[in-house]
Amino acid sequence: MKLKVKDVKLSTGGPYVAILNEEDARKLDLYGSDRIKIKDLSIVINISRKIKKGQIGLFEEVLKKLSLKQKQTVVINPDRHPISLGYIKQKLKGKRLTKEKIDEIIKDIVKNRLTEAELSYFVSGCYIHGLSLKETVYLTRAIVDNSKQIKLDHRITLDKHSIGGIPGNRTTMIVVPIVASLGYTMIKTSSRSITSASGTSDTMETLANVELTNKKIISVVKKTNACMVWGGIMELASADDRLIKIERPLSLDPEGIMIASILSKKKAVNATHVLIDIPVGKTAKIRSLTRAKKLRKKFIKIGRKLGMKIRVVLTRGDQPIGNGIGPALEAIDVLDVLQGKGPKDLKNKSIALATMLLELAGVKKARKKVLDSLHSGKAYEKMKEIIQAQGKNINRLKLGKYFHSITARKSGIVHEINNKLISKIARIAGSPKEKGAGIYLNIHKHNKVKKGETLLTIYSENKNKLEYALNLYKQSEVIKIGPKK
């Protein structure tokens, strides 16, 4: 059937989609979500009466891919559904998938051949039936094979990852300069925050450009041994990005996909030794020690199959790490620690993680070397080098001009700090989009506080947002203070 192209002047943000008039669709026995072919491209169809008979509405992605323009004539033919749909159905039924089948699914995701509804079925299958160790390995490899990679000829490349959910916790920005100052390579890609107060990339961005091309990344690493960049721009693991997007509305996070998501990003930069930090706590992402231990085993086994040495450390996840929560506030903590000051908990955790990571790579006297680097100022110098190489950002450490301090209503001991509420309040105050928004925490768990003492200060760049953040604070129990237990 020949149809005239109508540029609908929209993008789908992924899948190749065409819109047909109902009558034309009926002629070809096509229904919504069926496929057609134009040239060699398989395209999902929608049906809409807003498209005239004889026309085909095309989105930006298809127009670009096929170099088509408004009013050109195209020949369309019905096409089969992708065979990966059959495999997705098998997963939904609880069957184990082979390497070939998982490859096919991931290839189709990356090539934009599947609709969001179809992807949801895959996520559902993984969520309900789980993924076996083997399937997780296949999934990780498939994601890596279908994404851009950064390859340097280094014998050893170190990496680390913290499972999210703990406000503050910016150890990466301390561990990386320490390790790099000692001559080891870390090509650190991080995420931006989606639901937390700030991601490592959001915080790093207050100091340096984090949106680097792959070429630029390589040059930064060659110069400084390391980099700290946003993974999103690199098209590493783009299949993974699409899966995460589809998990959002129901906040699903199937374990197998989570593991593949983390490890594929390590594999894509050719990491050889990876330290994974799993904070465990009532308001952390991983809430039980049993689950954390199971997860540890899986990470190690899967890492081995992928040719990566992995060490997993379970850490306390019952409160924020550091004092600052929000990009600028966290960056200030990090720079302080690198200069021998700053919050002790952040400092100590960073030292411990850096030490374990080096030990994993067989470095002797790792702890001494880490402390030397930090105390001598070498790590701080390295941080400045990395910032310079990535492209320095200035004037982004200014805190929000609206702020309000909250004081203790009674004396006692801090029993609990709710991670989720802290994140939410910082977010409502404007973090991470407004770099100067967030929370400065004056206390930690088990601290003694006196009535009237400042517990925390909320910063915002906007008066209303500060108000909203304060309201949420007042309505909920963020910090529990009680008698000595």
Nearer of residues 4 and 27 to a second copy, judged by Cβ: 27
Residues in 391-450 that interact with a second copy by CB under 8 A: 427, 433
What stretches of 225-377 show up as alpha helix (H) in DSSP? 238-247, 255-267, 289-305, 327-338, 344-360, 366-376
How many angstroms separate the CA atoms of 342 and 376, rounded?
16
Determine which residue in the list 118, 202, 205, 277 makes contact with a second copy, applying CB under 8 A: 118
Cα angle 21-23-25, degrees, rounded to a multiple of 5:
70
Cβ burial, residue 126 (10 Å; 0-12/13-18/19+)? buried
Size of the site for a second copy (CB under 8 A): 51
Burial 429-451 (b: 16+ CB within 10 A, else e): bbbbebbbbbbbbbbbbeeebee
Determine which residue in the list 1, 41, 92, 470 makes contact with a second copy, applying CB under 8 A: 92
x/- map, 171-210, a second copy, by CB under 8 A: -----------------------x----------------
Determine which residue in the list 38, 88, 308, 360 makes contact with a second copy, applying CB under 8 A: 88
Q: Which range binds a second copy by CB under 8 A, 2-10, 162-170, 182-190, 204-212? A: 2-10
Nearer of residues 197 and 275 to a second copy, judged by Cβ: 197
x/- map, 220-259, a second copy, by CB under 8 A: -------------------------xx-xxxxx-------
Nearer of residues 141 and 192 to a second copy, judged by Cβ: 192
SS3 state of residue 124? helix
Residues with a known catalytic role: 253
CB 5 within 8 A of CB 73: yes
Q: Which range binds a second copy by CB under 8 A, 29-37, 220-228, 280-288, 467-475? A: 29-37
CB 182 within 8 A of CB 358: yes
Q: Which range binds a second copy by CB under 8 A, 11-19, 142-150, 356-364, 450-458? A: 11-19
CB 200 within 8 A of CB 191: yes
Q: What is the phi/psi pair of residue 119, to 5°?
A: -65, -35
How many angstroms separate the CA atoms of 242 and 106, rounded?
10
Determine which residue in the list 32, 54, 78, 412 makes contact with a second copy, applying CB under 8 A: 32
CB 69 within 8 A of CB 7: yes
Provide the binding-site residues for a second copy, judged by CB under 8 A. 8-13, 19, 26-27, 29, 31-33, 46-51, 57, 60, 81, 85, 88-89, 92-94, 115-121, 123-125, 127-129, 194, 245-246, 248-252, 427, 433
